[in-house]
Structure 1
């Protein structure tokens, strides 16, 4: 049903119910497409394609940021600031990896995020475990042109996940059931 032009909701009455159609205030914010063959999705993909030449540089910058966060932990230890920097750097790699064309790097970054997020005492996280994750991300990105990178990255990600789960089980042994949802498989295919 069309909305009333007076800016008020319309009411359609029936014997046993009423249908109230609220005013669509967003209607004014939507731009009408001028050309029938104009495809906003195609425009967005074209813009993304223009930027895609820079994706490798951006991913290397994300890896440098992750490495700097690791170095801050080595220098200053685990504290709120250094953990936040490391977590955000790993989380950004995890999120940007597929967009930037390096989807195989996301697994190691995700595993590091899980370790940081689910460790009850960050001071007990072995720096060697952090090093393994950061080095894996950097190696996967650096060696992405190799024909066997999928096999290498899959093996690295699988082993990191196993080691991380063992560590998390150990440090969370006093919290029965806490990790049940953490170790469940993802809902979306990976």
Structure 2
């Protein structure tokens, strides 16, 4: 017999998620089945998949800088195409994909600040209704920032300079997007969560 109960208590099934009900929402916490698998593998003397993955990454780490250089060249080529032809469907896609790949890969390759700069460029392209209105100097600032962060990685004060660069890029993109959207940001930055203070006129 299943002894399922509500309101945050277990349903009786060993792998069922924990559900806690509140007035206007519920919080669901799934069981961590991977933890059991890792514990069982360890107890049985089987390989640890996490350790195996870390060793594989360590073996490849010497090639990460070369891969990032290649990605930066691809981004620069896309930037040059935008400068030569302007923004159209082809150049927009090439620039966005090059930036998006760096956004997704750079942190794994050990260049998290390059990922942040690339993410800013992706956001600029995604959130601008007409990309033809994006100033080419703003594209240049992003591409040059990504390349500089990769080039100077590991040098003295590189992280401090990279943090300053990415913070400034965020400010510039915010200012541009606001100017294009009547003083408001056209993304989810302004609606992260519902207000916690009740309205004066009731719920």
Between the two structures, name the one with larger relative contact order (CA 8 Å, sep ≥ 6): 1
Q: Which residue is equivalent to 1:93?
A: 102
Q: Which residue is equivalent to 1:64?
A: 73
TM-score computed with the length of structure 2 as normaliser: 0.70
Structure 1 gap segments, 5+ residues each: 1-11, 21-29, 186-190
TM-score computed with the length of structure 1 as normaliser: 0.75
Q: In structure 2, which of residues 44, 47, 55 is the aligned counterpart of residue 46 of structure 1?
A: 55
Report whether the alignment pairs 1:172 with 2:181.
Answer: yes
Distance 1:13 1:184, change over 3 A: closer
CA distance in structure 1 between the partners assigned to 2:190 and 2:144 by the alignment: 23
Q: Check the 8 A contact 2:111/2:150 in 1, yes or no.
A: yes
Distance 1:158 1:178, change over 3 A: closer
CA distance in structure 2 between the partners assigned to 1:51 and 1:183 by the alignment: 40
Structure 2 gap segments, 5+ residues each: 4-11, 14-36, 193-203
Q: Check the 8 A contact 1:120/1:172 in 2, yes or no.
A: no
Aligned partner of residue 188 in structure 2, secondary structure: coil
- Post-superposition Cα deviations, 1:49-91, rounded to whole Å, max 9, x if no partner, equal 1111111101111111110110111122101111111111111
Q: Check the 8 A contact 1:94/1:106 in 2, yes or no.
A: yes
- Post-superposition Cα deviations, 1:133-169, rounded to whole Å, max 9, x if no partner, equal 0000000100112120111001111111101110010
Aligned residues: 161
Report whether the alignment pairs 1:181 with 2:188.
Answer: yes
Q: Which residue is equivalent to 1:118?
A: 127
Q: Which residue is equivalent to 2:165?
A: 156
Distance 1:128 1:178, change over 3 A: closer
Decide which moves more: 102-111 or 128-137. 102-111
Distance 1:156 1:104, change over 3 A: same
Q: Check the 8 A contact 2:178/2:185 in 1, yes or no.
A: no
Alignment RMSD, CA only?
2.8
Aligned partner of residue 146 in structure 1, secondary structure: coil
